[in-house]
Copies of this chain bind each other. A is one copy, B any other.
Amino acid sequence: MFEARLTQGKIFKQLIEALKDLVQDANIDCSEDELSIQAMDSSHVSLVQVNLQAGGFDHFRCDRTISLGFNSTNMSKILKCAGNDDVITLKAEDTADALTLMFESPGQDRIADFELKLMDIDAEPLGIPDTEYQCTIRMPSGEFQRIIRDLQVLGDTCVISCTKEGVRFSVSGDLGTGNVLLRNNAAEKEEDQVIIEMEEPVELTFALRYLNFFTKATSLGGSVILSMSPEVPVVVEYPIEEFGHIKYYLAPKIDDDA
């Protein structure tokens, strides 16, 4: 038996929104300690990893580890029926072929329950090793979203270069070229800060299309953290306060001329 109750049901809505354009089918893996989702996008170019600690739920019970395979479009359709202030409860029997989603309005006057049919998805979660990165950039998530959206006007690939001065996003295309520089900025409000921690400058090239998919997670929190080292995938992490995170991994483009 699995049951998880979340007063801030909005978080679960936002999480599914944050992966539904990237990932079609995925497992919700539940254990005693956490609820996690890991999946590659349909082109197998990027990976998304969600971890929500059991302690972040109001109630969390998982008698045995269970994998609940869902279609993200269908899950999203059902979650659209939950209000932003609703309490969301997820429930499944150990051998269930359906996930029950219950939405309770704040005053309990309105109670909705939905059953989403589940599917068998054959996917073994990858162990992702803890890595030290040469550069870590913390910046406002809205700013990151805007930069990625803006630069798509000019081209398909974006160079992210991180130095002590700041982080620069560059793009070049038929219309012309564009650069956006964010300076190191210890603003008063934590969410406005741009904090760069680095050992060595790093410059990597990425497909804007995927970075743009990642910014669907913007509503989950005020900050995003980019972790970069040469020749390894960037990690784009949206922390979810006192709860966990959603992380996206994307391999850099290799310059054929180098």
Expressed in whole angstroms, the Cα–Cα distance for A143 and B151 within the complex equals 36
Chain B residues with Cβ under 8 A from A98's Cβ? Answer: 176
Chain B residues with Cβ under 8 A from A181's Cβ? Answer: 110-112
Chain B residues with Cβ under 8 A from A187's Cβ? Answer: 109
Whether the pair A178, B81 counts as a contact (CB closer than 8 A) is yes
Chain B residues with Cβ under 8 A from A109's Cβ? Answer: 182-183, 185, 187, 194
In A162-198, the 8 Å CB interface with B consists of 174-183, 185, 187, 194
Expressed in whole angstroms, the Cα–Cα distance for A66 and B191 within the complex equals 44
Select the residue from A81, A98, A107, A185 with max chain B CB neighbours within 10 A. Answer: A81
Whether the pair B81, A182 counts as a contact (CB closer than 8 A) is no
How many chain A residues touch B (Cβ–Cβ < 8 Å)?
Answer: 35
Q: A78-B153, A153-B80, A153-B81 are in contact. Are A111 and B194 (CB under 8 A)?
A: no
Whether the pair A143, B176 counts as a contact (CB closer than 8 A) is no
Whether the pair A78, B178 counts as a contact (CB closer than 8 A) is yes
Chain B residues with Cβ under 8 A from A182's Cβ? Answer: 109-110
Interface pairs A-B: 9 shortest CB-CB = A81-B150, A115-B176, A112-B180, A114-B178, A77-B153, A116-B176, A109-B185, A115-B177, A74-B175
Q: Write the residues of chain A forming the contact surface with B, with a CB cutoff of 8 angstroms.
A: 74, 77-78, 80-81, 98, 107-117, 143, 150-151, 153-154, 174-183, 185, 187, 194
17 sampled A-B residue pairs with Cβ under 8 A:
A77-B153, A77-B175, A78-B153, A78-B176, A81-B150, A81-B151, A81-B178, A107-B185, A109-B182, A110-B143, A110-B183, A112-B150, A114-B178, A114-B179, A115-B176, A117-B174, A117-B175
Known: A80-B150, A81-B180. 20 other contacts (CB 8 A): A74-B176, A77-B154, A78-B154, A78-B175, A81-B150, A81-B151, A98-B176, A107-B185, A109-B182, A110-B180, A110-B182, A112-B178, A112-B179, A112-B181, A113-B178, A113-B179, A114-B154, A114-B176, A116-B175, A117-B176
